[in-house]
Amino acid sequence: MRVLQESPFWRWTYPYRVRRICREQMPLPFQHLTSTKQLSRSDTDAILVKAKEMEAVVAKGEANHVLQGKILASLFYEPSTRTRLSFESAMQRLGGQIITAEGIQFSSMYKGETLEDTIMMVSQYADIIAMRHPEQGSADRAAAVSTVPFINAGDGPGQHPTQALLDMYTILKERGTLDGIHITMVGDLKFGRTVHSLSYLLGLYKDVRFTLVAPQELRMPEKVTSFYQEHAVPYTEVESIEEGLDADVLYMTRVQQERFEDKAEYERLKLKYVLTAAQIKGRDITVMHPLPRVGEIATDVDALPNAAYFREAGNGVFVRMALLAMLLGKA
């Protein structure tokens, strides 16, 4: 608790003007969240302000049961630990309940049921749906038929909007601002959905710039670099982590083994970039990672104050509490 109150974020509040806009904007101007491209800066600010309120409620041990009587269907057709558990924890912390389905092999999709049929049915069992699915575009297909609010919890190499929101919240908490942030993204920028979603969101803020570090084969896709260009967001592509260490945030990612057809290529690329404590010791750079890590951050980094990745995972609960409450009109 003391740590929380002493952090610059805890003392920091949005100016009155932003808080007023946030109040006027609630509830969010959409029913489903499938992509960070849907979010304006003021939508994002509103979610972050609400997440901060949720964090305060949890920190004080107060009860907030605004979602009592509501049910979340958590459908995870691809492996997940943090995202699923933090959605479920968020729902339960708000007094709601959960029903779950896990793994395509255990669901009716294995028997050949279409995603659309599954979602139309689940819409009748729950008040809100969070789904992770291995196919890019599956979230939009599901949202198109869902009769209750639908949240994309990761669609293959496509998008992961709630991770991006918790990443934004983490940057704000760790650095005290989103404007002016220089972020270096490292690793699998091609298949990593978190870096795509985060780029679209952070790119809405003022004077943000990106340094991208990836093997040639795993460079940031054109859909994201064209977004930087359209929004006049400066970015540079470099070959080594060292060239990106003068940033505020170092966002490490895992090489996404499950997206590779050629396993030998995965083996060749998986540990191309490994961050060690010696590289960042004494630097004012915040190290983030959506997790799980599989070797790209050495464990000696964990003891440094720079290591924010476990705090980042914890923030997922507050951000998802905010989003669930807002999408259900209970914020």
Q: Which residues have a catalytic role annotated?
A: 82-83, 111, 132, 160
Nearest to ligand NCD of 234, 292 (CB atom): 292
Q: Which of 295, 294, 257, 301 is nearest to 278 (CA)?
A: 301
Residue 1: count of CB within 10 angstroms of its CB: 9
Nearest to ligand NCD of 149, 290 (CB atom): 290
**From candidates 250, 291, 297, 324, binder to ligand NCD by CB under 6 A:** 291
Determine, following the binding rule CB under 6 A, whether residue 158 of this chain makes contact with ligand NCD.
no
x-or-dash string of contact with ligand NCD, 67-86, rule CB under 6 A: ---------------xx---
Determine, following the binding rule CB under 6 A, whether residue 290 of this chain makes contact with ligand NCD.
yes
161-220 residues in contact with ligand NCD (CB under 6 A) are 163, 193-194
User: Which parts of the chain fold into alpha helices (H)?
Assistant: 2-6, 8-11, 16-25, 41-60, 82-93, 115-122, 138-145, 161-175, 193-202, 222-230, 263-269, 277-280, 309-327
User: Residue 328 Cβ, how far from ligand NCD at the closest point, in Å?
Assistant: 22
Q: Is residue 92 within 8 Å of residue 85, measured between CB atoms?
A: no
Distance CA(132)–CA(70), nearest Å, equals 20
User: Residue 291 Cβ, how far from ligand NCD at the closest point, in Å?
Assistant: 5
Tally: H helices and E strands in the chain:
13, 9
Determine, following the binding rule CB under 6 A, whether residue 254 of this chain makes contact with ligand NCD.
yes
Nearest to ligand NCD of 81, 147 (CB atom): 81
User: Residue 323 Cβ, how far from ligand NCD at the closest point, in Å?
Assistant: 15
Distance CA(129)–CA(26), nearest Å, equals 20
Nearest to ligand NCD of 12, 310 (CB atom): 310
284 DSSP assignment: -
Q: Which of 137, 93, 99, 152 is nearest to 327 (CA)?
A: 152
Determine, following the binding rule CB under 6 A, whether residue 259 of this chain makes contact with ligand NCD.
no
User: Taken in order 99, 105, 109, 111, is the CA torsion positive or negative?
Assistant: negative
Determine, following the binding rule CB under 6 A, whether residue 160 of this chain makes contact with ligand NCD.
yes
User: Residue 195 Cβ, how far from ligand NCD at the closest point, in Å?
Assistant: 9
User: Residue 249 Cβ, how far from ligand NCD at the closest point, in Å?
Assistant: 16
Token readout for 58 is 């949890």
Nearest to ligand NCD of 166, 328 (CB atom): 166
Give residues with Cβ within 8 angstroms of 207, minimum separation 6. 179, 180
Q: Which residues bind ligand NCD (CB under 6 A)?
A: 82-83, 154, 160, 163, 193-194, 254, 290-291
